[in-house]
Amino acid sequence: MVLHGLEGSSGSGYVTAILRGAAERGWGATALNFRSCSGEPNRLARSYHSGEIGDALEVMKLLRQRFPGPLYAVGFSLGANVLCRLLEETGDAAPVEAAAAVSAPFALDACCRKIDGPGPFQRLYRERFLRTLKQKARAKLRRFPGAFDRQAMEAAHSIRAFDDAVTAPLHGFRDAAHYYAEASSGPRLHAIQRPTLLLSASDDPMLEAPVIPPGAASNPLLSPVLTEQGGHVGFVSGHWRAPRFWGEAQVLAFLDAFAPAAHPK
């Protein structure tokens, strides 16, 4: 089961790469579209955010009921943080056998500072995110008038301002700072009780150092991998005409180790 990043979807390239790799191994695979990310608006005032684990957990439980065999989960960016928070909250009862978190924003406040920074890459992605987030917010207000302050939303020119105006009030947080503190997975990694790959790059333009919290090394079930290069959900190698998606390959290789065929009776 794959969880996408901010304003991504089940059709995002990194998601389909995992689904394709799973199919090549004969595994069943699916991807969750977070609320409002499937091309259709969801029917409630609430949407999705970096700490919302309910929908993912519900789908995982449904998969366990319907299909025999082990369940693995992979999250990218925002979806990686969601996955880590889910594993932290469920502990020994986690509904997966193994997991992988790629380019996770373990410290949301620091990640927000980076995205809202002055660099050209940050500006490009910030404007892209805000464009689609605001489009969805306007549609939400048409359906739920007064759900949040429209003027504050329209005036938001940073991710933090948008989270203050929209994400926080829609999901019961006092403000963006409260949301970031409650939803960040970094301080709680010790609670994860399933083998989990943490794959990140030192040159990730959306994350501040330390990209992977130093405390991750104290949990023997975590496998932190920090590369010098790879960007944010990048990890592409080879020629541009025939790229190799190194990150996705590492994720699948990690999960291979826990597949039943790897442990014959």
Q: What's the whole-number mean pLDDT along residues 215-243?
A: 87
Q: Is 232 a catalytic residue?
A: yes
Which residues neighbour 20 within 8 Å (Cβ) at sequence distance 6 or greater?
none
Helices and strands (DSSP H and E) totals, the chain: 10, 8
Q: What's the whole-number mean pLDDT along residues 201-205?
A: 95
Rounded CA gap, 166 and 176, in Å? 9
Q: Say what the pLDDT of residue 262 is.
A: 55
DSSP state of 34: P
Mean pLDDT check: name the lowest of 44-48, 91-95, 118-122, 233-237: 233-237
Q: What's the whole-number mean pLDDT along residues 227-241?
A: 81
Could you read off the pLDDT of 19-74 as tens digits, one per residue? Answer: 999 999 999 999 999 999 999 888 999 999 999 999 999 999 999 999 989 999 99
Q: Taking 90 as the threshold, does the pLDDT of residue 235 lie above it?
A: no
**Contact between 50 and 78 (Cβ < 8 Å):** yes
Q: Is 239 a catalytic residue?
A: no
Q: Say what the pLDDT of residue 236 is.
A: 76
Catalytic residue among 77, 103, 185, 200: 77
Mean pLDDT estimate for the chain: 95
- Tokens describing residue 238: 């080879």
Q: Say what the pLDDT of residue 177 is.
A: 98
Q: Is 204 a catalytic residue?
A: yes
Rounded CA gap, 161 and 134, in Å? 12
**Contact between 39 and 56 (Cβ < 8 Å):** no
Catalytic residue among 50, 184, 200, 204: 204
Rounded CA gap, 101 and 215, in Å? 16
Q: Say what the pLDDT of residue 102 is.
A: 98
Q: Which long-range contacts (CB under 8 A, 24 or more apart) does 32-40 make?
A: 32/1, 32/2, 32/3, 32/4, 32/56, 32/59, 33/4, 33/9, 34/3, 34/4, 34/79, 36/136, 37/4, 37/7, 37/8, 37/9, 38/9, 38/10, 39/9
Q: What's the whole-number mean pLDDT along residues 188-208?
A: 97
Q: Say what the pLDDT of residue 260 is.
A: 78
Could you read off the pLDDT of 131-144 as tens digits, one per residue? Answer: 999 999 999 999 99
- What is the separation, in whole angstroms, between the first and last Cα of the chain? 26
**Contact between 78 and 20 (Cβ < 8 Å):** no
Q: Say what the pLDDT of residue 162 is.
A: 99
Predicted confidence band of residue 17 (pLDDT cuts 50, 70, 90): very high
DSSP state of 189: G
Structural domains of the chain, with CATH: 2-107+186-258 (3.40.50.1820), 117-183 (no CATH)
